[in-house]
Chains A and B, each alone.
Chain A
Amino acid sequence: MTEAENEILEKVKETLKEEIVEIKIPRKRRIFVKIRRKALKQAVKSLKELGFKHISTITGVDLGENIELIYHFAYKGAVELSLRLDVPKNKPDVPTITDIIPGAILYEREVHDLFGVTFEGHPQMARLILPEKWPEGIYPLRKEYTLENLKKLIFEDGEEE
């Protein structure tokens, strides 16, 4: 771990305090910080003040009971901080961060499409990636959907190819 990372880590700890659940540093210039769900907005705000102005993307991961959201932030282009939080699968909603970082607008829509996470307050929570005919409520990247049962769900009307 270099000095820059230490410094960032200290600042992050200072601002987020008890909201932090876990911190991991797998390698140089990579930090994983797990926070409580409620603290998302506050965390993003303070990260932006610390210099994490660039969001690279938002990753969704299906953990079974929960969906994990990972926000990848970059610090002046170098240190990549991944802010993660769990949202329950039966009520997957988090506040939007587009009012703090407008660049997240498409990434939130992408996660909404593929994982069914709702971002409250997003200006345009419309479909981005999936086709118009795609059935509502089917989120293809969730683990309960495999290629086989998706095929059945989508090709019900026998229009295959």
Chain B
Amino acid sequence: MGYGSVIKVPFGPQHPALKEPEHFTFEVEGDVVVNVKPRIGYNHRGIEKAFERRTYIQNIYLAERICGICSDAHTTCYTQAIENLLGVEAPPRAKYIRVIIAELERIHSHSLWVGIAAHEIGFDTLFMYVWRDREVVMNLFEMISGNRVNYATNTIGGVRRDIPSEMFPKIKKGLDVLEKRLKYYLDVAQTEQTILKRTSGVGILKPKDAVELCAVGPTLRASGIKNDVRADDPYAAYDEIPFNVVTHDGCDVLSRIIVRCKEMFESINIIRYALDHIPSGMIRVRVPMAVPEGETVSRVEAPRGELIHYAKSNGTMQPERYKVRSPTLGNIPALCKMLLGGRVADIPIVLAGIDPCFACMDRMAFVDLKTNKKWVWTMDELKEHVRRNNL
């Protein structure tokens, strides 16, 4: 592991997202997993320490780069925390814009995940088509924010860019296309044998375990537990927008697919409602550079689940302490539980099931308890093993 210049300090909040390294040690008995030991931190970038050295304005962009997929969730959480410390509130229009961007991001993240889940079970045709249709939402982002990822819309005290009303019909048209396509994919997921055989009854997480192990987000909701920060602890404009919290009581990977697909429909409806009811007015309030002493906890429902930031200020232009807990970390204990008793061939899809950074598992060590032989497989080798043995 190499260390870089001042920016690449190897500590801080780890954030395992897609295509990032993470290590699990599985103990297998024959083909059955009997113990899982996670080892994370391969992608630790020292962000929590870096927060303490930057000003509040610079930290917006640092928060945005904690994760590429849910960059908006992190900035929403960050700006809310700082706004709370400053005692200001974003104007109503800004709150609606935050909701629109957040829900577009959820659609983008979930459809990306559906594609990846299909890829993990070897169903690359579906993967290609889902990702082709994901372009619709990417293009909407490009139109609204100028760029496809890292939208840079949130700022302390509101948002940086307005969504002009000329864009509304285009957004709605995009949503119509998406809705049609997503209906089709949901139908495919529920009827296609390739998917059902690989996901139904796999990676079981019982509701009791899900609560005990503090799972979050769609992973928790797919175990039948109704829990969503947007509904329970509303932020931005979510207290004014009606929506359903989607749950499914299958407790397996299939129900995680269904929950995410149905959540995308909810997101589409939320955006439609927000576009129809968006108030006019300012989009941001000016805020001072220095933040008075205080501390706060900010929570946001990121696409992957509950995201929590803790901020402590000391009256200067830099925070005293900033803590980030991303949803994937919250789901790792639950993930280990899901993998126990499962088969080696199901590991990729169960791992992918919580929507983590799953190339994270590029290095998996297997220990055969009987022979005590140890070997390491890459993800591709593992998939090859699955293919060869027709599992």
Q: In their complex, do chains A and B touch, with some C-beta pair under 8 Å?
A: yes
Identify the closest chain B residue to A84 (Cβ). B295
The chain B residue sitting closest to A82, CB to CB, is B297
A8-16, A36-44, A48-56: which lies at the B interface?
A48-56
Is the beta-carbon distance between A128 and B39 smaller than 8 angstroms? yes
Given that A78-B233, A101-B214 are known contacts, is A114 also in contact with B11, CB under 8 Å in the complex?
yes
Residues of A within 8 A of B1 (CB): 131, 133
Q: A26-B294, A147-B6 are in contact. Are A56 and B330 (CB under 8 A)?
A: yes
Q: Which residues of B contact A82 (CB under 8 A)?
A: 297, 310
CB of B375 within 8 Å of the partner chain: no
Asked if B296 CB lies within 8 Å of chain A CBs, one says yes
- B213: nearest chain-A partner, CB-CB: A103
CB pair A56 B308 closer than 8 Å: yes
In the bound complex, how far is the Cα of B308 from the Cα of A56, in angstroms? Answer: 7
List residues of chain B with CB within 8 A of the CB of A72: 297, 308, 310
Residues B4 and A161 in contact, CB atoms below 8 Å apart: yes
A59 sits at the interface (CB 8 A) = yes
Which A residues lie within 8 Å of B321 (CB)? 59, 61-62
A14–B214 Cα distance when bound, in Å, is: 26
Number of interface residues of A (CB under 8 A): 49
At the interface, yes or no: B306 with Cβ under 8 Å from chain A? yes
Question: Does A88 belong to the interface (CB within 8 Å)?
Answer: no
Number of interface residues of B (CB under 8 A): 50
Tell me, yes or no, whether B49 is within 8 Å of chain A by CB.
yes
Residues of chain B within 8 A (CB-CB) of A79 are: 233
A77 touches which of B9, B46, B227 (Cβ 8 Å): B227
B44 at interface by CB-CB < 8 Å = yes
A70 touches B310 (CB 8 A): yes
* Contact indicator B308/A129 (Cβ below 8 Å): no
> Given A77-B228, A103-B214, A147-B49: A161 and B297 within 8 A (CB)?
no
Question: Contact: B214 with A150, CB < 8 Å?
Answer: no
The verdict on B229 contacting chain A, using a C-beta distance below 8 Å, is yes
> Which of B37, B44, B53 sits near A129, CB closer than 8 Å?
B44
Indicate whether B40 reaches chain A with its CB closer than 8 angstroms.
yes
Q: Is B84 in contact with chain A by the CB < 8 A criterion? A: yes
Is B333 a contact of A102 with CB atoms below 8 Å?
yes
The yes or no answer to B248 lying at the interface (CB within 8 A) is no
Interface status of A57 (Cβ within 8 A of chain B): yes
Given that A53-B211, A76-B232, A114-B11 are contacting pairs, would A147 and B296 also be in contact in the complex, using a CB cutoff of 8 Å? Answer: no
A160 to B296, CA, bound (A): 37
**Nearest A residue (CB) for B245:** A77
Cα distance A124–B11 when bound, in Å?
A: 21
The interface residues of chain B lying within 8 Å CB-to-CB of A130 are 10-11, 41, 44
Complex CA–CA separation, A62 to B306 (angstroms): 25
Q: Which residue of chain B is the closest to A54 with respect to CB atoms?
A: B214
Question: Does A140 sit within 8 A of B, measured CB to CB?
Answer: yes
Whether a CB of chain B sits under 8 angstroms from the CB of A29 is: yes
Does B14 sit within 8 A of A, measured CB to CB? yes
Q: Is there an interface contact between B41 and A78, defined as CB atoms closer than 8 Å?
A: no
Q: Say whether B166 faces chain A, with CB atoms less than 8 Å apart.
A: no
A130 CA to B39 CA in the complex, in Å?
Answer: 10
Distance of A80 Cα from B310 Cα, bound (Å) = 12
Contact among A26, A105, A113, A133 for B296, CB-based, below 8 A: A26
Binding site for B on A (CB under 8 A): 26-27, 29-30, 32, 53-57, 59, 61-62, 70, 72, 74, 76-80, 82, 101-107, 110, 113-114, 124, 128-131, 133-134, 140-141, 147, 150-151, 154-155, 159-161
13 contacts between A and B (CB under 8 A): A54-B214, A54-B227, A56-B214, A61-B321, A128-B38, A129-B14, A130-B41, A131-B41, A141-B11, A141-B48, A147-B6, A151-B6, A155-B3
Given A105-B333, A130-B41: 11 more A-B contacts, CB < 8 Å: A26-B84, A27-B296, A76-B232, A78-B232, A113-B41, A124-B37, A140-B9, A150-B9, A151-B9, A159-B3, A161-B3
